[in-house]
Amino acid sequence: MSPDSFAFIAGLVKSRSGLVLTSDKGYMLETRLGPLLKRDGLASLDALALKLRDPRAGALAEAVTEALTTNESSFFRDGKPFDHLRKVLPVLIRARPAGATLRIWSAACSTGQEAYSIAMLLGEVPLEGRRVEIIGTDIADGVVARAREGYFTQFEVQRGLPARLLVKHFRQEEGRWRVSPELRNMVRFERGNLLGELRGFGRFDVIFCRNVLIYFDAPTKARVLNALAAQLQPDGVLYLGGAETVLGLTDRLVPVPGERGAYERPREAALAG
């Protein structure tokens, strides 16, 4: 592939999704875009780049972007954020009037393990008359569809999911495990781009945005963090992945003291609403 073609594809993917492809990622383009070349009868990545230059190639650009996302996920990933959520939920519940709806967002939800982990956890917390809405969003249509269907392989359910919760919330179907209808009904999955307009999703009490900012450059991380801060309730909590932080990127979020990976709005901002 010519350096020009690489730069064109990398620029397109970054502008659509924020994902940064450094020049050493040529092999990744070859492997991940191979199936698309085959599907569209294209001889090379140069031919693909040429086709993408056509402004009418929006659907192809979307498919290329989706193919270059990394969708790795697991149930109760890293443990800690879920332990913290278990502690913080009763506080949030008590701070809301009876009948209120707590809103929880798994932004960049991939195949849904994070959102379903939250739903399982909620099943064990007394909600004291409050309702809960869980939304999972991701830029990649394919993973959103998978999340919605709620099928997981034996390998996937063996990663992080306690046997007790597997038995309680999953059924075996055609050699795979499917999330129970009750749990599926607790979560709504939609396509959503973190670089897009986030105000339409409304305000959230809890936001998980984990293991996606690592793929962005600093200005994009800052932009997304500021947009997420604007959607977080004044007393809400944002969880980031273990290799992610707000430090040096925004002052609209600060670490929750003593809780790795958990962030909140600074007190003055919280008081202002």
Ligand X SMILES: C[S@@+](CC[C@H](N)C(=O)[O-])C[C@H]1O[C@@H](n2cnc3c(N)ncnc32)[C@H](O)[C@@H]1O
Catalytic residue among 103, 138, 205, 210: 138
211 binds ligand X (CB under 6 A): yes
CA distances from 58 to 17, 53, 61, 72, 248 (A): 13, 10, 5, 26, 35
231 binds ligand X (CB under 6 A): no
As measured in angstroms, the least distance from the Cβ of 209 to ligand X is 7
The one among 67, 122, 140, 187 contacting ligand X by CB under 6 A? 140
73 binds ligand X (CB under 6 A): yes
193 binds ligand X (CB under 6 A): yes
Could you give the 3-state DSSP secondary structure of residue 189? strand
As measured in angstroms, the least distance from the Cβ of 37 to ligand X is 21
117 binds ligand X (CB under 6 A): no
Instruction: Measure the CA–CA gap between 268 and 270, rounded to whole angstroms.
Output: 5
User: Is 96 an annotated catalytic residue?
Assistant: no
Sequence-ordered list of residues with C-beta below 8 angstroms from that of 155, at least 6 positions apart, any chain: none
User: Of the candidates 33, 185, 201, 219, which has an alpha carbon nearest to the alpha carbon of residue 107?
Assistant: 201
Asked if 91 contacts 82 with a C-beta cutoff of 8 angstroms, the reply is no
The one among 4, 30, 40, 72 contacting ligand X by CB under 6 A? 72
The footprint of ligand X (CB under 6 A) covers: 17-19, 69-73, 77, 108-110, 114, 138-140, 143, 192-195, 210-212, 241
Residues taking part in catalysis: 32, 138
